[in-house]
Every structure is written in C-alpha cells, then in structure tokens.
Structure 1
Amino acid sequence: MSQRIDVKDLNIYYGDFLAVEGVTMSIDPRSVTAFIGPSGCGKSTFLRSINRMHEVIPGAYVKGEILMEGVDLYGSDVDPVAVRRNIGMVFQRPNPFPTMSIRDNVLAGVKLNNKKISRSAADELVESSLRGANLWNEVKDRLDKPGSGLSGGQQQRLCIARAIAVKPQVLLMDEPCSALDPISTLAIEDLIQDLKSEYTIVIVTHNMQQAARVSDKTAFFNIAGTGKPGRLIEMDDTPVMFSTPREKSTEDYVSGRFG
C-alpha cells in the first residue's frame, strides 16, 4: 500500500504571495519523514500540498510537480478528492466528530466516499482500523459511545483509525502530539513506528526529540524573514541531520540556538 513521493521544484502560492519556494525532495515508502523548522517557514503548508488540502483556501495554487509512483497529483485529469482518499491527514488537535459514536467516527470517511458496506464488513473494518491505531482493547466495549468522551490521546488515535479505515497509501500528520501529554505522545510515537511497515508517513513536528525518535529522514525548512517564502534547506537521514548537518542554520536549529 505504501507509495513513494517525488517533489520537483514546487512553489506554493496564496494569490500573489509565494508561501513556499522551490522544494525538491523524495519521500521513501514504508518510512517516516519528519519536517522540522521554525514557525511560519511553510512546513504545514507544504505538508497540506501533498494531498491538495491547502486548496480549500481560496486563491491557493502550486507550480511544480508532486508525483506519487510517477503520477502527477496535480495533473489535469486527477481528482483532488481521490488524492485525499489515498493520502490521509491527521491534524494537530484531535477532531473526532463530537455527535458520532466511536464506531461511526471510524466509518465516517468510508461513508463520505459513498462506499456501500455491509454490517459485517463494517464491523470488521472498525475492529481492524481500531487495532491498527492500537485502540481496540480500550474501546471495544463502548463502540456506541461518543468519540468525544475519550481522552485526548485516545481521540487522536481514533482520528488515526478514521484515516486508515479508507485504506490510504500515505499518512500525513501535522504536529499530531502537540496537544497531548507525554504518555499519550509516547503512545502515538509507538503507533507511528508500527504503521510505517504499511504506510508512507510524513510528520510535521516542533519537537526535536520526537523527530529524532520517530523519523528515518528529516527535512529542515527555514525562512529568510517575514514575508519571505519558506524554503527546504536540507534533507538527510535523521542521525546525520542531528549530528553532522551540512548547513550551519540546520545545526543552529537542531541545537536550540534559534526557533
């Protein structure tokens, strides 16, 4: 299921404003890639461009290419809804649908895609998705209770279960642990390690220790100043990025001198 992504000279615009400039990178399948960098440097904007989620903002568009296994995700014949089905997103704050049960939260994406599914198939999908998110044993006896009744960490894992229920090939995570306590954060990090055997995972994080713990490769973004576009400064294997980066600005950031 996991897919390779190749980005070639990508520029992201909001109207006349160039938000992210000239990104070229390859994201390996069955791996975790972390995006790090100071606030406002375009990490989340670039992450959202991978599944065309940024397009929900009026005036947003890109120049350049994002290829998934050779297919241009911005091709004229490509449906953005199909892109988002194949490339799931987990957001910064857990966002289960508050009026829906745990079970219906897991199935929400499947039903949104107008897929007909039998009760038995739905039951199997709910269990497999919750097991995949390492949540099944905690909620199996209260599947009809509201998802909003779970703890923050459980809600985030429920959102991950909802994302993987539609069988995506890539999972994007925008600071998935920033609203969570340390124990819940550890649970999500363990889950990310489990999921990478099946998915291509890209995570934005402000937590340097987290990037070092969970990712195989790390990409450092930076910005020259207010109103300037974000840029990819360098990308390499995570141990290299945290020990012997090529650029001084990367070294300054990962060592805590700025950001």
Structure 2
Amino acid sequence: MSKRINAIDLNVYYGDFLAVEGVNIDIEPRSVTAFIGPSGCGKTTFLRTLNRMHEVLPGARVEGQLLLDDDNIYDTAVDPVTVRSMVGMVFQRPNPFPTMSIRDNVLAGYKLNGTRLSRSQSDQVVEEALKGANLWNEVKDRLDKPGSGLSGGQQQRLCIARTIAVKPDVILMDEPCSALDPISTLAIEDLINELKDTYTVVIVTHNMQQAARVSEKTAFFNIAGTGKPGKLIEYDETTKIFSNPSKKDTENYVSGRFG
C-alpha cells in the first residue's frame, strides 16, 4: 500500500469554467501533505480530482495527467470506481450510514463492491480497521449498535475505519476536524501521524497550526479574484512554507495578512 501521486499540467473544469489551472505536484508515498489556502481557491476541487470524485458533478472534467505511481487514473481505460477503491476519501463532516451498525459501517465498502466475506473474514476486517482507526477499544462491545450513536470524534474515526477497511493506497481528508472539538481533533491528528506509516495521506485544512503539526509538505493554493481559476502558488517542506516561504502571497497568507 501507499503510492506516489504526480499531477502534470492538470486543469480542472466544471463545464466551460476553469476552476483550477496548471497544477504540477509530486506527493511522496507514506507521507502527509497539507493543502492550505483561502476559501474558493480550488484546494478541495483539486483534492477531489485525486480520486475522480469531482466527476459526480455534471460537466466536470480534467485536462493533463494524474499518476498513481506510473498509472494515469484519467486514462480512458480506467474505471473511476476502481480509482475510488484505491484512493479513499474522508469528508468534512462525519457521515456514518445512520441505519447501519458500527460493524456494517466498517464493511460497507465490501458490500458496495459486491465482495462476499465469510464471518471470520468480516470479523478480522472489522477488528483490524477499527484498531487502525484507534477506535476498537471504545466500540468492541457494541459493534451491533448504530454508528450514528457515537460521538462526533468517534464517528469521524469510524469513517476513517470504513475507508481503510478496503485497504486503499491513498487517503484523502477534506477538513476532517472542522466539525470536531479540540480533544477529538487531537485524536484525529494523532491518528493521521500513525496512518502515514502505511498510507499516502493528503489533507485539506483551514487550520494552519494543524497543517504545521501533521504534514511533511504543504501546498498553498490561491485565487486572483472572483471568476478566476485557483492555482498552486507554492509547494515545499512544511517548515519552509511557514517559516521562510519563497512567494510573497504565501507569506501574506501564513502570517494572517489575508484569508
């Protein structure tokens, strides 16, 4: 598990509107990369291109290449469903399936893919995924209870367990802590630091302290104005982005002068 991501001259469109322009980025495997920038600058749009999730909107398309290791996920022969099994997504707000038990939430990916597991295989998947999400000890005695009955932080870790249960190579996180309290946020950040030992992790965050805490590299996106495309302004080691950025726009953003 864990793959390198390369975007090469990637443009993202919604119909005729160019939403993100000319992204070139190389994301290392087994690492955490943070996307930062003001609202509307294209960072979440670009994140969603990494598993073709943006394509659920009519008219969405990309130009350029996006490679997982050496495979272009936008090749015409590639099935988007296959891509999404390799590149999992954790969303801004915890979204366990409300009618499903904790156990069935973890196994949801297998059921959606039509994969049949024996009871012993299911038990193993559930335990491993919940342990991987640091949730097993808290829920092991109530696996048949609804996932919606957990606290917000536990629900987000359940969603992470659901994501890692199908053994992806990459985990995308779109502001995974924005709806959580500080204690739950710390638990998710600790988990992210553990996940990078196995997965390539990419996180969008508006919390610059969080980016500094969890990521090795940071990408700063910005936008010139309403109706203009978002652009990748600077991408470097996180310590450099926050202490000695190369671009004036980056310095202005991380120092709080705008955004």
TM range (shorter): over 0.9
Task: Map Cα deviations across residues 50-73 of structure 1 (whole Å, 9 max, x no partner).
Answer: 000000000000000000111000
Query: 1:30-41 counterparts in 2 under 5 A?
Result: 30-41=30-41
Task: Map Cα deviations across residues 47-99 of structure 1 (whole Å, 9 max, x no partner).
Answer: 00000000000000000000011100000110100000000000000000000
Query: 1:47-126 counterparts in 2 under 5 A?
Result: 47-126=47-126
1: CA distance, partners of 2:164 / 2:193 = 15
The alpha-carbon deviation at position 34 of structure 1 amounts to 0.2
Structure 2: any 5+ residue segments left out of the alignment? none
Query: 1:120-139 counterparts in 2 under 5 A?
Result: 120-139=120-139
2: CA distance, partners of 1:6 / 1:59 = 24
Where 2:19 maps in the other structure, the secondary structure is strand
Q: Report the equivalent of 1:204.
A: 204
Query: 1:109-188 counterparts in 2 under 5 A?
Result: 109-188=109-188
- Report the residue type matching 2:26 in the other structure: S
Q: Report the equivalent of 1:229.
A: 229
2: CA distance, partners of 1:126 / 1:186 = 23
Q: Report the equivalent of 2:5.
A: 5
- Report the residue type matching 1:184 in the other structure: S
The alpha-carbon deviation at position 110 of structure 1 amounts to 1.1
The alpha-carbon deviation at position 111 of structure 1 amounts to 1.0
- Report the residue type matching 2:34 in the other structure: A
Scaled by the length of structure 2, the TM-score of the pair is: 1.00
Task: Tell me if 1:26 matches 2:26.
Answer: yes
Task: Map Cα deviations across residues 123-169 of structure 1 (whole Å, 9 max, x no partner).
Answer: 01000000000000000000000000000000000000000001100
- Report the residue type matching 2:3 in the other structure: Q
2: CA distance, partners of 1:62 / 1:70 = 18
Where 1:137 maps in the other structure, the secondary structure is helix
Moved runs in structure 1, 4+ residues, more than 2 A? none
1: CA distance, partners of 2:243 / 2:56 = 38
Structure 1: any 5+ residue segments left out of the alignment? none
1: CA distance, partners of 2:7 / 2:60 = 18
- Report the residue type matching 2:119 in the other structure: R
Where 2:76 maps in the other structure, the secondary structure is coil
Scaled by the length of structure 1, the TM-score of the pair is: 1.00
2: CA distance, partners of 1:173 / 1:202 = 6
Where 1:35 maps in the other structure, the secondary structure is strand
Where 2:107 maps in the other structure, the secondary structure is helix
The alpha-carbon deviation at position 8 of structure 1 amounts to 0.2
- Report the residue type matching 2:134 in the other structure: N
Identity %: 76
The alpha-carbon deviation at position 116 of structure 1 amounts to 1.2
Q: Report the equivalent of 1:246.
A: 246
Where 2:63 maps in the other structure, the secondary structure is strand
The alpha-carbon deviation at position 221 of structure 1 amounts to 0.1
2: CA distance, partners of 1:22 / 1:197 = 30
2: CA distance, partners of 1:218 / 1:251 = 13
Count of matched residue pairs = 259
2: CA distance, partners of 1:146 / 1:45 = 32
- Report the residue type matching 1:226 in the other structure: T
2: CA distance, partners of 1:110 / 1:44 = 26
The alpha-carbon deviation at position 172 of structure 1 amounts to 0.2
Where 1:171 maps in the other structure, the secondary structure is strand
